[in-house]
A = this chain, B = another copy of it.
Amino acid sequence: MKKQVSIKDVAREAGVSPATVSYILNSTPGLSFTPETREKVMAAVEKLHYVANQAAKTLGSSRTEGIVQSKLIGIVIPQTENKRRESHIMFGNPFYGTFLSAVELEIRKAGYHLILSGTNPGQSYIDIVKSRTLDGVIILGAYPSDDAAEYKKYKIPAVLVDCYGSGDSFFYSVRTDDRLGGYMATRYLIEKGHRNIAIVTGELKEHGVNSERYQGYLDALREAGIRPLKRNLFEGYVDYRYGAEAAQNLAKNRRGVTAVFATADITAVGLINGLHEAGISVPGDISVIGFDDAEYAKMCFPGLTTIRQNIMEKGRQAARLMIEAVQNHGLPRVERIIPMELIERGTVMEVYDN
């Protein structure tokens, strides 16, 4: 690691003081400089290939309250090392990849950088935030409520993505109306004549995405006067394998189920393949609807009928909200709801009489 070119080198080269260089490069408001001085400085910067040291900037500006700028945004995704369960791995579900892609693009455009971290569920992230003096944090999935107080205490803007249960006015939030989505999916199946509808989903933690979608499912059943059956609830993991497992169980004991709502596409695909393997045709024997419209929803055969949420858009919104929050300190809480739409492909079939 060679000694880097510092602001002093630039100052010397340009024949001005370090402060002048700093002011000019940051175009600090309320200060004026001669065009000549400006030019001299810029020329020196060019000549020496000067790039400011971010650590020093962060440190130097940490004196003034509120304007600390590490230009670093943290993004936290739950992920544990777990050989047995893909669902614990960040990108077991490609949803994250797409989302991250959109976030990165926006964040970079705004001149910030993204510091990516997984966390063991429940593990605190606040140390990282403190030690790196992050400008803000984007949190995916359930957020560790212990940290919440700290974020507020230190006034770190936090954007919660797909989080429920924090009505707290401090946090920004981006999500879809998952309950409505669950309702849409189930209602669609009902409209197609299905009455005995199973649901395959991940852990129904309080205030989670799965839980909301499940509520929506119940809403739709209730509306249609269908009594929900406990045995039609398959609660497990959000991964391919659990879908396949659910398929096996379903194949063993169908009890008249004609349709399944899988609360994530990845589970849906596992389910479909599992059913195929068990000799059950989709949608011939059982209809399936998913959720997300992930990349591969259109790739599998038959194409997966699903509730589409615009993941890129979700990422974009989260990033923009973050930047806004960082730049206009103390903005009032904003909640962005990303719209959904039902995509009809080939995994749902109409049934007549029952």
Contacts and interface: CB of A to CB of B under 8 A. Distances in A.
Interface string A51-69: 1111110110010011010
Contact of A113 (B59, B96, B128, B270): B128
A101 B94 contact: no
Contacts of A89: 101
Interface in A40-86: 51-56, 58-59, 62, 65-66, 68, 70, 72, 79, 81
Given A116-B114, A128-B113, A1 B301 contact: no
Contacts of A273: 298-299, 301
Nearest to A295: B94
A303 to B, nearest CB: 8
Interface string A243-282: 0000000000000000000000000011001001000000
A166 interface: no
A258 to B, nearest CB: 21
Contact of A51 (B91, B130, B269, B296): B130
Interface string A1-39: 111100000000000000000000000000000000000
Contacts of A56: 55, 59
Given A115-B115, A116-B114, A1 B65 contact: yes
A174 interface: no
Interface stretch (A153-161, A190-198, A213-221): A153-161
Nearest to A301: B301
Most buried by B among A1, A65, A66: A1
Interface in A101-137: 101, 104-105, 108, 113-118, 127-128, 130-133
A19 B93 CA distance: 47
A100 interface: yes
Contacts of A65: 1, 3
A100 to B, nearest CB: 6
Contacts of A81: 105
A348 interface: no
A240 interface: yes
A54 B4 contact: no
Contact of A300 (B97, B127, B299): B299
A30 B115 CA distance: 34
13 contacts: A2-B154, A53-B131, A55-B55, A56-B59, A90-B97, A90-B100, A100-B116, A104-B116, A113-B132, A115-B115, A240-B295, A270-B299, A296-B300
9 smallest A-B Cβ distances: which pairs? A97-B97, A91-B97, A301-B301, A55-B58, A296-B296, A91-B101, A51-B130, A55-B55, A90-B101
